[in-house]
Amino acid sequence: MSILKAPEDKKGGGDSDSDSDDSSRDLRSVLVTSVLNLEPLDEDLFRGRHYWVPTTQRLFGGQIVGQALVAAAKSVSEDVNVHSLHCYFVRAGDPKVPVLYQVERTRTGASFSVRSVKAVQHGKPIFIFQASFQKVQPSPVQHQFSMPTVPPPEELLDHEALIGPYLRDPNLQEKYRVGLNRITAQEVPIEIKIVSPLTLGQLQRMEPKQMFWVRVRGYIGEGDIKMHCCVAAYISDYAFLGTALLPHQWKYKVHFMASLDHSMWFHAPFRADQWMLYEFESHWAGGSRGLVHGRLWRQDGVLAASCAQEGVIRVKPRVSNSKL
């Protein structure tokens, strides 16, 4: 089932959907039908609701990007797929009210089509978005960088396993215990396995780089590439901007951090319900801003997508050298 079409009644059996793992909660019950399944209000006008709200109490940027891409994809033909998107976050999203998505069919060409989307709350735009779609066009001109050599996800611990030893430490300060418990309690609809978990001795030597394996919880299936691209757009904003803060976090704490703009380029077909390596690096930070680039690799080494984001980063000096 595609998120770009009306949901179907799955009762009475089925084919590949029978492989879904009920214990992990079928993804369609969490991400596709809840977050990325928009309510049509009129032609090219949709309403989106919320599922997961970060501790900042602002809407998760990946949700807005993913929903906007769903809205844009509903207005193009089935024989084209998104190859790039570019967007600006212009106001903080209010998690207490739905978001309206207004689609403009900017151009429909023989090979490429462009769609513009404006996300609105309280009568004002909170987000502006453009996506370009292309018909499949094979080319002999091909190259890509090599995927980093890292341990496979099966050999790495998930968030709960990494945090567990800290929570069991009787000497852990209460303020850290509260924060870690808050992290484990969040019902984020994606799974993450960090490639090189941070240790206390690395705090003052961190580079602005990080990598983790990521996939959505549950099962999507083959589907169409539009569905997986919309899910990847949701995933793409998770833990992105914080990469720029890694070399400085031992000295400063975040006072305010928010995305300003976000771009993605899609290179090869992939499945968002299978492990992908998400690689981040920040080449520059300054002027209360940070710039981060990301690459999403399929487990077979194919570069699936590239991302870039700039955001506001305002910090305050840490007044204590306390450590976990």
Question: pLDDT (tens digit, 9 = 90+) per residue, 207-254?
Answer: 999 999 999 888 887 777 998 999 999 999 988 999 999 999 888 989
pLDDT band at 320 (very low <50, low <70, confident <90, very high): low
pLDDT 10s digits, 135-188:
999 999 999 999 999 999 999 988 766 665 555 556 655 544 444 444 444 567
Q: In angstroms, how far is CA 162 from the centroid of its own chain?
A: 21
pLDDT of residue 25: 46
Q: Mark whether 259 is an active-site residue.
A: yes
pLDDT band at 13 (very low <50, low <70, confident <90, very high): very low
pLDDT of residue 104: 98
Q: Mark whether 309 is an active-site residue.
A: yes
Residue 8 has pLDDT above 60, yes or no: no
pLDDT of residue 26: 52
Which is more confident, 18 or 55? 55
- Tell me the C-alpha distance between 34 and 48, whole Å: 9
Residue 281 has pLDDT above 50, yes or no: yes
pLDDT 10s digits, 104-122:
999 999 999 999 999 999 9
Position of tokens 């069991």? 168
Catalytic residue among 237, 273, 282, 306: 237
Task: Name which of 85-94, 98-107, 195-204, 286-295 the model is least confident about.
Answer: 195-204
pLDDT of residue 249: 83
Task: Tell me the average pLDDT across 297-307.
Answer: 98
pLDDT 10s digits, 44-90:
999 998 877 776 678 899 999 999 999 999 999 999 999 999 999 99
* 60 HSE (CA, 13 A, CB side): 25
Spatial CA neighbour of 32 closest among 235, 237, 231: 231
Which is more confident, 127 or 161? 127
Task: Name which of 4-8, 66-70, 123-127 the model is least confident about.
Answer: 4-8
Contact indicator for 307, 313 with CB cutoff of 8 Å: no
pLDDT of residue 221: 78
Where in the chain are the domains?
30-136+151-317
pLDDT of residue 158: 80
pLDDT of residue 29: 42
Spatial CA neighbour of 242 closest among 278, 201, 272: 278
Catalytic residue among 259, 273, 282, 306: 259
Q: Mark whether 186 is an active-site residue.
A: no
E strand or H helix at 213: strand 209-216
Which is more confident, 27 or 200? 200
Spatial CA neighbour of 274 closest among 153, 159, 144: 153
Residue 23 has pLDDT above 50, yes or no: no
Domain 30-136+151-317, architecture per CATH: Beta Barrel (2.40)
